[in-house]
Structure 1
């Protein structure tokens, strides 16, 4: 867990390099609209005049996004309420041109999100991928999952598909982020039975891995493909 000091400058510094989707209420459509105006990062949004954001997004949404970019959220706090979305980000040490290494990072992020969702008893209906480049531009893509899930292979499969859809052949990627969105309680979601012994085995292994992590920590067990991710 990262703790930010109760100081406006510290909050601004923490938020500045985050993608627009890190702000509550900013989904892939809004993020693409902001990115078209050169406002792909929270710091860029915070520096924009409120009137500009209101012209781009509308009066209410523009004002809300401006305030949240400054660490202000007027929504009432409900103790112990379930999160509506969760995210995870991986920053590369330098410009990452290798798609294999990017896929490894996405696998690690999907695994982290899946583990957190299952621990909280939640499932996601959608997944958003955000890619940040060396020139500080940002691309965001989102897609609805075939069914609400917290199953790591399903999250990973969609993350890979979103990555492939961007066709980043020679892109200088600095960071990738995944956000599981439109969350709901797992007990309220239905799952299509597959009668696939491979899927059943994967879910049993997943359950064992979750128990190991709960007892020994989040790094107690990780997918083999993430071993090279720093």
Structure 2
């Protein structure tokens, strides 16, 4: 079955050319030209990779990416005309899988898409197998187990752990984590997330003292990995 690529690009001619190259390489493509439509489309449709332009009408690409990472770990390639190194690092630290600067060669993008899909598929399988060996999470019952032992978690801690495990290997900002834990829009500080992380680590380490599965990423947030 062909992999499905979502191209989010307001330059319609460029998007159509890129889609033609990807289709010729054996991919299925869907095009979106406005930032406002992206999240609702992804929630309703399956896609294997997103090529996301950062400079979009109606909604900024980084804002879209942050919300996307609160519910999906689909690979994302960010595309932009910006060449400033700070923008490049910001995109990668938030968990982007690749970064392409305009003007780009459609052939190069096709090659990068293939590499990202190959890499994320392998790392995703390896990481999930490792996580499943250690963690068992029942979302409906809100029960979490580590090494077959129950973790006594508060509702906020359960949501946090579930989100980190589901997006294992991805760097998640404190803002992303707060949005996931407190979906009612209440105002909380970065310290609230840090406190939950501290408690989670303690409860995990009661079972396995040397476990360091929740990594701090300086200046950004956290990453879950085993």
* TM > 0.5 fold call: no
TM-score tier by shorter-chain length is under 0.3
Structure with more contact order per residue of length (Cα contacts < 8 Å, sep ≥ 6): 1
Calculate the TM-score normalised by the size of structure 1. 0.27
Calculate the TM-score normalised by the size of structure 2. 0.28
